[in-house]
């Protein structure tokens, strides 16, 4: 008899391996259920530290044309505000009757946040400044109706937000603890000094976790990535077991290969202070995959659109040449565009297979230890309500 569960996540929790179990995939519903994705958006995206993009993309001219920008963090509409060199984030929910203060993706140069519904207006620190018609309402105090401020950080040029608990509350997760030792690993790449060389966006017909799991193993590389295997042996390197809410490892370049590019030749300017023989593959939970090379840093930012659909923004960052010109990075961008598409095709095939009534979670190979680490973290988060 099939058991029935009141909460759809209970079925997934019950079928999710716990630590110490033989390591195997999550149950199919974890990748196909709308209810599970809704839960993940609230608890693993809004409730974690999720990457919203590069600061310079969100506020391109440091504040004049764009002072306010609406975005969505997990399932929570947020309003990013940058003014006088201070970045703040608020719930994009008016304190009158809840209208969004700016529509999703919209920006504004204004120094006041004005709700389009009944024109309550707030300053850029979130304080209510005017509530039409409330001047003579007894007992109405502006201070009771400030916008809800949410925690936001800029780290290595990326903006990270937490949208579940207000800034300064006890439940706000500690950002430095979230990064853990990832911060030390990425510091030599000086990502905040790098500039965008190129960017591709993809819409992948697969669950965000299928994409992450694929990122965490090279067991598939000899089968689908002939170009990649020419520059890096697929069985090179090891995974890290260090503090922080991230999963990842390093791989090594073949002798004579200087970077991951179509020819193995450097495509950007070599980054000083980094190990020229290795490539770091680091997944900061939940949605940022940072692949750091000797001459460029590639980052995939994932936004789940549906259980079987994920938007992926792939950006390549380089050190500018003397005089400020930006290297073209063609050989690396083309290399990774080919590799990305090989990966997306595999992920989309896995997603179709997961939807079959005959799918059963299979075991991980020894070379898939980072996938097992990721799945274990997701399984634990399903039980405790957040990434740890």
CB 65 to ligand FES: min, Å: 24
Which of 90-98, 170-178, 262-270, 278-286 is the region at the interface with ligand FES (rule: CB under 6 A)?
90-98
Q: Give the contact letters, 337-376, x = binds to Fe ion (CB under 5 A), - = no.
A: ------x---------------------------------
Is position 145 an interface residue for ligand FES (rule: CB under 6 A)? no
Region for residue 155 given its phi and psi (left: phi exceeds 0; alpha: psi -120 to 50; beta: otherwise)? beta
CA triple 21-23-26, angle to 5 deg = 100
User: Pick from 24, 96, 367, 386: which binds ligand FES (CB under 6 A)?
Assistant: 96
Q: CA 148 to CA 79: how far, in whole Å?
A: 10
CB 232 to ligand FES: min, Å: 54
User: Pick from 111, 118, 254, 341: which binds ligand FES (CB under 6 A)?
Assistant: 118
Q: CA 287 to CA 276: how far, in whole Å?
A: 26
CB 78 to ligand FES: min, Å: 16
Which residue is associated with the tokens 């949410």?
150
CB 80 to ligand FES: min, Å: 19
Looking at beta carbons only, is 29 or 343 nearer to Fe ion? 343
CB 57 to ligand FES: min, Å: 28
How many Cβ atoms sit within 10 Å of the Cβ of residue 319?
Answer: 20
CB 142 to ligand FES: min, Å: 13
User: Pick from 45, 55, 59, 120: which binds ligand FES (CB under 6 A)?
Assistant: 120
Nearest to 246 by CA among 349, 155, 366: 155
Instruction: Answer with the entry of ligand FES, Fe ion, none that 343 interacts with (C-beta below 5 to 8 A by kind).
Output: Fe ion
Is position 115 an interface residue for ligand FES (rule: CB under 6 A)? yes
CB 95 to ligand FES: min, Å: 7
Beta-sheet strand order (sheet of 149-150): 107-108, 68-73, 76-83, 86-91, 149-150
Instruction: Answer with the entry of Fe ion, ligand FES, none that 96 interacts with (C-beta below 5 to 8 A by kind).
Output: ligand FES
Looking at beta carbons only, is 100 or 348 nearer to ligand FES? 100
Is position 94 an interface residue for ligand FES (rule: CB under 6 A)? yes
Q: CA 234 to CA 343: how far, in whole Å?
A: 14
HSE, CB side, 13 Å, CA atoms: give it for residue 192: 9
User: Which tokens in the block code for residue 78?
Assistant: 């947020």
Q: Are 66 and 60 in contact (CB under 8 A)?
A: yes
Instruction: Answer with the entry of ligand FES, Fe ion, none that 118 interacts with (C-beta below 5 to 8 A by kind).
Output: ligand FES
Nearest to 254 by CA among 274, 271, 273, 229: 229
Looking at beta carbons only, is 5 or 117 nearer to ligand FES? 117
Burial class of residue 359 in the structure, from the number of CB atoms within 10 Å of its CB (0-12 exposed, 13-18 middle, 19+ buried): middle
Looking at beta carbons only, is 78 or 288 nearer to ligand FES? 78
Q: CA 267 to CA 270: how far, in whole Å?
A: 9
Residue ranges that bind Fe ion, judged by CB under 5 A: 343
Residue ranges that bind ligand FES, judged by CB under 6 A: 94, 96-99, 115, 117-120
């Amino acid at each position: 008899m099939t058991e029935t569960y009141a909460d759809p996540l209970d079925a997934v929790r019950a079928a999710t391996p716990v630590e110490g179990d033989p390591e195997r995939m999550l149950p199919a519903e974890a990748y196909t259920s709308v209810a599970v994705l809704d839960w993940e958006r609230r608890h693993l995206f809004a409730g974690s530290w999720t990457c919203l993009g590069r600061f310079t993309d969100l506020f391109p001219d440091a504040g004049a044309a764009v002072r306010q920008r609406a975005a969505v963090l997990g399932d929570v509409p947020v309003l990013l505000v940058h003014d006088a060199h201070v970045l703040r984030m608020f719930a994009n929910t008016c304190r009158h009757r809840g209208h969004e203060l700016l529509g999703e993706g919209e920006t504004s140069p204004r120094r006041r946040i004005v709700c389009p519904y009944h024109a309550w207006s707030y300053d850029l620190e979130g304080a209510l400044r005017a509530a039409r018609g409330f001047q003579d309402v007894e007992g109405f105090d502006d201070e009771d109706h400030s916008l809800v401020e949410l925690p936001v950080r800029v780290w290595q040029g990326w903006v990270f937000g937490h949208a579940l608990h207000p800034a300064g509350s006890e439940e706000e997760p500690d950002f430095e603890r979230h990064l853990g030792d990832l911060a030390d690993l990425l510091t030599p790449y000086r990502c905040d000094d790098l500039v965008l060389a190129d960017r591709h966006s993809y819409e992948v017909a697969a669950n965000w976790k299928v994409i992450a799991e694929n990122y965490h193993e090279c067991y598939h590389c000899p089968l689908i990535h002939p170009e990649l295997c020419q520059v890096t042996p697929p069985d090179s390197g090891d995974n890290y077991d260090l503090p922080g809410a991230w999963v990842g490892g390093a791989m090594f370049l073949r002798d004579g290969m200087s970077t991951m590019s179509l020819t193995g030749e450097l495509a950007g300017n070599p980054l000083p202070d980094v190990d020229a023989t290795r490539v770091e593959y680091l997944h900061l939970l939940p949605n940022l995959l940072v692949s750091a090379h000797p001459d460029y840093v590639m980052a995939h930012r994932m936004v789940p659109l549906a259980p079987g659909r994920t938007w992926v923004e792939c950006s390549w960052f380089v050190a500018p040449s003397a005089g400020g010109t930006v290297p073209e990075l063609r050989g690396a961008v083309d290399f990774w565009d080919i590799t990305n598409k090989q990966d997306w095709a595999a992920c989309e095939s896995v997603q179709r297979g997961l939807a079959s009534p005959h799918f059963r979670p299979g075991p991980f190979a020894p070379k898939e230890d980072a996938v097992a680490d990721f799945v274990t973290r997701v399984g634990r988060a399903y039980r405790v309500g957040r990434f740890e």
